[in-house]
Amino acid sequence: MRTIFGRAIEKRSNPFENPSMPLTSVSLLNVFGGTPTDSGVSVSEMSAFGVATFWRCAMTLAGLVAGFPLKVYEADDKAEIPAPALSHPASGTAYEQWETVMLHLLAWGNAYMQKVRNGLGKVVDLVPIHPARVRIDIVAGHKVFVVTNPAGAPTPYTTAEIMHIPGPSVDGIKGLGVVAMARQSIGIGMAADAMAAKLFGNGSLISGMLTTDRVLKPDEAQALKQRWKDTIAGSSHAHDVAVMGAGTKFQPLSMSPTDSQFLQSRQWQALEICRWFGMPPHLAMLVDKSTSWGTGIEQQNIGLLKFTVRPWTYRIEQRVTLEIVGPDSQYAEFETDDLLKADTPTRYAAYQSAIMTGWMTRNEARRRENLPPLEGLDEPLIPTVAPPMLLPAPPEPEPDATDTNDTDPEGVNA
């Protein structure tokens, strides 16, 4: 099998596909530097994290998913079963593990995790692999993951050894990352950051200038500047009057309309990156933007979970179910209740309704609030239904005055 894999990776045309090209190669570093964009800035997955909005959106999504406990349940009775590979990985904490997976998915579009098995063949740990080290080949209709180690040596692995979680894909093999699709938008943001740095570095933040009719020598100009600063600087000179003399005038400077429009364009570009992630602007610290997902925090969280977070959690849940826990009798699922927690009075009212109607036990409600269970509170309450009010029987109809059982006294019918 290794020979077949070796034949599949013999001829490659670029640094990523060349097994003999070490990760320290200059050619490979040039590729890692990123792809040039129309803005003149090269954008790579790593350099994109230097854009503030990209960083905030990626970290928010990764943190949300990583904070949800990934649990395993029996398919028949929904009983939770332990899964140490998912909740207590040997390579780090569960939060660190799934945060790394999400960052790989968002930036590179693919996440790879090596399956560590015990002597019985059971997966006991999952170790993330950097996506830039992995290439996918198709051999005899099956995926082969060629992983390049730091020394530059490629090693092929099968799906039994590596779990691949692809992002949205158009070929069913590799996923598409935000950086690959939004390279132009991110490049504009990076170019805007560079222009802003030059704008500030070139002195565009100077509040004003001193002018005089005299021709000043450098030391005289420096003395005038220092005298001006000594006259106006400090809270003790607040609302004071400066007298300079010698025809000296102060001319305030303001930002030009062009520079003002440039700063507005930066805000627009930040909003554009939020669109790529499906992130509400206020969660990317764009506090001047509102959301149409609802007016309450709970409604906004429901919208975030439904339209942005859930597509990623579904992707991870189904892949873990398929390759780690066994889809026939078990399934993996993120517990997302924390994102949907309302304020304390609303939660308590919901618990009361659920307990009194019998579909939640009192200890289940306590567990939701991280409280220890109490004895005797594991049984659901049986709702009592009051019997319907008895209405009085309707009165008997009175007999008709013309209706009589007496015989005809007059003998009319005789």
For residue 57, being part of any structural domain is answered with: no
pLDDT confidence band for 137 (50 / 70 / 90): very high
Domain boundary among 230, 252, 274: 252
Beta bridge partners of 211: 249
Cα separation, 129 vs 148, whole angstroms: 10
- Count structural domains, the chain: 2
> Which stretch of 34-38, 59-63, 176-180, 377-381 has the lowest confidence by average pLDDT?
34-38
Q: Which residue has the higher pLDDT, 403 or 139?
A: 139
CA-nearest of 329, 334, 293 to 312 is 334
pLDDT one-digit tens code per residue, 162-221: 999 999 999 999 999 999 888 888 888 787 777 767 666 665 555 667 677 777 778 877
Identify the pLDDT of residue 389.
57
Please check whether residue 114 lies inside any domain of the structure.
no
Q: Which parts of 170-283 fold into alpha helices (H)? A: 178-181, 183-201, 218-232, 257-277
Lowest mean pLDDT segment, chosen from 3-17, 75-89, 112-126, 359-373: 3-17
Alpha carbon distance 23, 132 (integer Å): 10
Average pLDDT over residues 48-52: 89
Task: Out of 216, 231, 252, pick the residue that ends a domain.
Answer: 252
248 versus 11: the higher-pLDDT residue is 248
Return the pLDDT at 322: 93
Share of the chain above pLDDT 90, in %: 31
Residue 245 falls within a domain, yes or no?
yes
Q: How far apart are CA 372 and CA 365, in angstroms?
A: 10
At 60, the pLDDT band (50, 70, 90 cuts) reads very high
Looking at the domain assignment, is residue 69 inside a domain? Answer: no
29-33, 154-158, 247-251, range with the lowest pLDDT = 29-33
Q: pLDDT digits over 329-350, tens only?
A: 899 999 888 777 666 777 888 8
pLDDT in tens, 84-130: 889 888 878 999 999 999 999 999 999 999 999 998 888 999 999 99
Fill in the amino acid letter for 361.
T
pLDDT surpasses 60 at 404: no
Is pLDDT larger for residue 101 or for residue 289?
101
Q: At what angle do helices 52-67 and 183-201 cross, to 10 degrees?
A: 130
| Residue type (1 letter), 3 | T
Q: What is the pLDDT of residues 294-321, one digit of tens each?
A: 556 667 778 888 899 999 999 999 999 9
Q: Is residue 239 part of a domain?
A: yes
pLDDT at 414 over 60: no
Helices (H) and strands (E) in the chain, counts: 14, 13
367 band by pLDDT with thresholds 50, 70 and 90: confident
Round the average pLDDT of the chain to a whole number and report it: 78
28-67 in b/e burial notation, b at 16+ Cβ within 10 A? beebbebeebebebebbbebbbebebbebbbebbbebbbe
Tokens of 287: 């506090």
Q: Is residue 347 part of a domain?
A: yes
- Report which DSSP code applies to 170: S
| Helix then strand then coil, % of the chain, to nearest 5 | 45, 15, 40
Residues 6+ apart with CB under 8 A from 153: 19
pTM beyond 0.75, yes or no: no
* The pLDDT of residue 147: 95
Q: How far apart are CA 180 and CA 169, in angstroms?
A: 12
Predicted pLDDT at 4: 40
Could you tell me which residue, 54 or 328, shows the higher pLDDT?
54
**Span 75-90, mean pLDDT?**
87
222-251 average pLDDT score: 69
End-to-end CA, the chain: 120
pLDDT tens digits, residue range 238-276?
Answer: 556 666 666 777 666 555 555 555 556 677 788 889 999
Residue 366 lies in a domain: yes
| Per-residue pLDDT, 104 | 96
Q: Give phi and psi for 60, each to the nearest 5.
A: -65, -50
Q: Which domain holds residue 373?
A: 343-381
3-state secondary structure of 401: coil
- 125 vs 410, residue with greater confidence: 125
Mean pLDDT of 53-75: 93
Residue 239 pLDDT: 59
DSSP letter (8 states) at residue 392: P
**Band of pLDDT at residue 9, cut at 50, 70 and 90:** very low
Does residue 32 have a pLDDT over 90?
no
Q: Answer whether residue 300 is part of any domain.
A: no
